[in-house]
Amino acid sequence: DFLTDLGVDLGDINLCGGHSVPRTHWIPSPKEGRPTPVGMGIINAAKQRIADIAKARPDDVTILTDTRVVGLTSWNAYVNGVNVIQDGKLSSSLLVDSARTGMKTPACYTSLREIRFLRFPTTNGAFARGDGVKMARAMGAEVVGMDRIQVHPTAFIDPADPSSGTKFLAAEALRGKGAILINSLGVRFANELGRRDYLTESIIRECKPIETFQEGSAGLTAAFMLMNDKAADSFGRPAFNFYASFKKFFTKYASVKEFATAAGIPVDALRETLFQYNKHAETSSDSFGKAVFPVAIEFDEPIYVAIVTPAIHYTMGGLKIDKQARVYNEFMGKPFKGLLAAGEVTGGVHGANRLAGNSLLECVVFGRIAGRNAAATNYSHEEL
């Protein structure tokens, strides 16, 4: 109801990795024009609502732009404000009304348990520096689960820049609508709709770097992602065309055979792979435990092909919070007064392996909790 009231339509429900039924809500793809990612849609709607409130109540709401928070301030054990850089200068402490401080900065640094992931690319941009965690840690905040990182199994290798350390995410919904994965031998090797950790390990184990197709995979272990027109239509043409036509991650071939020949994949092996896949689709079961087969793929039909590789995507770790979104003080063993957090800056919500769709749900649920509790906080001058 909250998102609907903001004007966010989440009527498109998708099946993603690790899900037994479709349960991930997206913004429906338009018949024409560029689709809106669900995260952007939520942020833009909330941003507009805040702007409307600020316009109607200028004495109550001030919006600061081009302002970077670089630290927290405290007084008598209360977190009561932030230090900011504005116009290139470090400002004096900006006190937050009634000592209310909510942090929602993405946290993307972590202690890597497995050294092998250090060579992996990432889906995160240079902006994801973990500032929120670092600022809170400087105040003595407790963290949890920082050794828990998630590698997403499918990130696009851009044919125009295969060695880039930052990759564009190949959404799980592509596989949910019918994309399949094969290795350089033309063989399926896993349930495309399995959990992210399972599919990542399967790609690492069953695939190898692709060197002789297009511009290759820059030495990264990679798989081929195949989609036909029926799968692309089901995904939504505007959304699919963003990947295929605008970003040029997919290449279209007149037939699967044409692709196999171009990629140096054994033609007979790939033909048998598709024959077996379509046969399993009739019974909704295969040796990998796959139970959902959205489309059949014929050997002689047009096919879209992309190269995908695992990439560091998310950390389940972050600031420790309670059910009221209050951040814990590591040294006091209890929550700070005046410091709340929600979203990816926090940890302990997703266990060891987050499922697709749960992150934005967490951001909205805990964001509302943090906002309500911040608004209800009103420390007296004597307490401060």
The catalytic residue positions are: 152, 175
The conformation of residue 123, written as its DSSP 8-state character, comes to S
Residue whose C-alpha is closest to residue 342's, from 374, 314, 313, 312: 374
The conformation of residue 213, written as its DSSP 8-state character, comes to S
Q: Count the alpha carbons within 13 Å of 61 in the hemisphere toward its beta carbon.
A: 12
Per the structure block, which two tokens stand in for 120? 């992996």
Per the structure block, which two tokens stand in for 307? 């190269």
> Cα–Cα distance between 302 and 228 in angstroms, integer?
6
Spell out where 17-63 has E strands. 24-26
> Cα–Cα distance between 125 and 132 in angstroms, integer?
16
Residue whose C-alpha is closest to residue 277's, from 375, 186, 169, 164: 186
Contact 314, 359 (CB under 8 A): yes
Per the structure block, which two tokens stand in for 308? 């995908």
- For 53, left (φ over 0), alpha (ψ -120 to 50), or beta? alpha
Neighbours of 12 (CB within 10 A): 17
